[in-house]
Every structure is written in structure tokens, then in C-alpha cells.
């Protein structure tokens, strides 16, 4: 068990560019979550997958944000036409099949800076 | 909708002293409750969780938390703080009827004096 991994760890981009982040969950976990954390705040839920199905996406911040998990393993989070307000830490978490009875285990995050 | 309040933004305690971090939640049903710790540059690490049964739960690193339904609280405690406990602590409530999302409080930053 190597834990949840996220790549890249840091991303600096210019406003208007597209960025994509990758998350590899714990191998036996079928649930995957994305959160965003801004400075001095707690994480904020964005979206959730069970296997390859995206079961909750109403909290994605705008239509510039999208996420995929095509084979039910790794996931990607894409932000199109980035804005300075998108600068934040993007966290991925995974959990097992028992929903909230299985705690969510978090990766180290991808820190995005939009110039 | 669920919400979490951590009333203390910063707390400073002396090494060896006891610690209590406060957490109040709002949720209509029986909550799933969690405490996470985040050290600088690190991801969130789960300390403990509660969803049913004994209202006093034990976690890692000597932490414990007590669920009090009447007070809508889930306070985190440790009898003797170590310098390595300095970090940010987050309380979270989970909602199974909302995509298993966790709603986090704003966090409490713990500083430990030698």
C-alpha cells in the first residue's frame, strides 16, 4: 500500500491556460474524491467517483472544471482557462467500498499557482 | 446541509499540557465524524473517526474524541501534548446522502511551547 499519489506536486501556469492533475488512489479503493483547499481554509468538496461513475459533480466550481476516471483506477482533474482565483491546493482522496465507514485517505495534493 | 464549526483558529499549549480542540457540527441525521491533522507541506492524515457505538473513540498518536449528540460536538483531546503535535487540525462531518462528501471546518492551528 503506497498511499494516494498525486502529480504534479506543484504547477505554475499563466492565466488562461489549461491544466490537468492526476490522482492515483490506493489500489483496492473503488471510491475517489477531489477537494480544493485555499489558504487558511479547510478542504472543499468538488466531486466523487465510484469506480468509473461520477456520482456527484454538482459542486464543481464552474463549467471550467471537469474530472474523469475512465477505467475506475486513476483520475484526472482538468481546469480550463485558468483564473487567478483558481490558485489553491487540489487534494485527492480515496476510500473503500463501505462509503463513509471507510475513511477517506488523502494524497499530498497539487499546489496550483495561476499568474 | 451539513456544516462544521471550529471556534478556535489558533491554540497555543505548553509541551506536556493537556489539549482540547473544539468541533461543533450541524447535520440532520446521525453524523459520520472525523478528525484529520495536516502538517506543513503534508497531506491530511486521519486521526480518528466516529459513526456509531461507543461515543469515546481512540485514535492514533494518543488522541481521543468524544461524540456528544446533545451538544452537537465532537471535541478532540490529548492528555499530554508533544512538540511534534504542532500542526493544523480539521474536524469533518460526512454525509452519505450527499455523495459521501466530507464537509470540513476551518481548522485549528496548534502551536506547542517548549
- Residue showing cell 492526476: A22
CB contacts < 8 A, A to B, total: 64
pLDDT by 10s per residue, chain B, length 114 = 889 999 999 999 999 999 999 999 998 777 899 999 999 878 899 999 998 888 999 999 999 999 999 999 999 999 999 999 999 999 999 877 766 889 999 999 999 999
| CA pair distance B14, B81, nearest whole angstrom | 8
List the single residue in B with minimal CA-CA distance to A108: B43
pLDDT in tens, A60-111: 888 999 999 988 899 999 999 999 999 999 999 999 877 777 789 999 999 9
DSSP A41: S
Among B30, B38, B44, most A C-beta atoms within 10 A, so best to mutate, is: B44
Would you say B7 and B109 are in contact if contact means Cβ atoms under 8 Å apart?
A: no
Chain B residue closest in CA terms to A102: B49
DSSP A60-110: SSSTTEEEE-TTSS-EEEEESS--GGG-EEEEEEEE-TTGGGSPPEE---E
Amino acid at each position: 500500500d503506497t498511499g494516494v499519489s498525486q502529480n504534479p506536486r506543484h504547477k505554475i501556469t499563466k492565466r488562461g491556460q489549461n491544466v490537468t492533475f492526476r490522482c492515483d488512489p490506493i489500489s483496492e479503493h473503488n471510491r475517489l474524491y477531489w477537494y480544493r483547499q485555499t489558504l487558511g481554509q479547510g478542504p472543499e468538496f468538488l466531486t466523487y467517483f465510484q469506480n468509473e461513475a461520477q456520482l456527484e459533480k454538482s459542486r464543481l466550481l464552474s463549467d471550467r472544471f471537469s474530472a474523469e476516471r475512465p477505467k475506475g483506477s486513476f483520475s484526472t482533474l482538468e481546469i480550463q482557462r485558468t483564473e487567478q482565483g483558481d490558485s489553491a491546493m487540489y487534494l485527492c482522496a480515496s476510500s473503500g467500498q463501505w462509503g463513509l465507514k471507510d475513511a477517506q485517505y488523502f494524497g499530498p495534493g497539487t499546489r496550483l499557482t495561476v499568474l | 446541509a451539513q456544516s462544521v464549526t471550529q471556534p478556535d483558529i489558533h491554540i497555543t499549549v505548553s509541551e506536556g499540557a493537556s489539549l482540547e480542540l473544539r468541533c461543533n457540527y450541524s447535520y440532520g441525521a446521525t453524523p459520520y465524524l472525523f478528525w484529520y491533522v495536516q502538517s506543513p507541506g503534508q497531506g491530511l492524515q486521519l486521526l480518528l473517526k466516529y459513526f456509531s457505538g461507543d461515543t469515546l473513540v481512540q485514535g492514533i498518536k494518543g488522541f481521543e474524541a468524544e461524540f456528544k449528540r446533545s451538544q452537537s460536538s465532537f471535541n478532540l483531546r490529548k492528555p499530554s501534548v508533544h512538540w511534534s503535535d504542532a500542526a493544523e487540525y480539521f474536524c469533518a462531518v460526512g454525509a452519505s446522502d450527499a455523495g459521501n462528501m466530507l464537509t470540513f471546518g476551518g481548522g485549528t492551528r496548534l502551536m506547542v511551547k517548549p
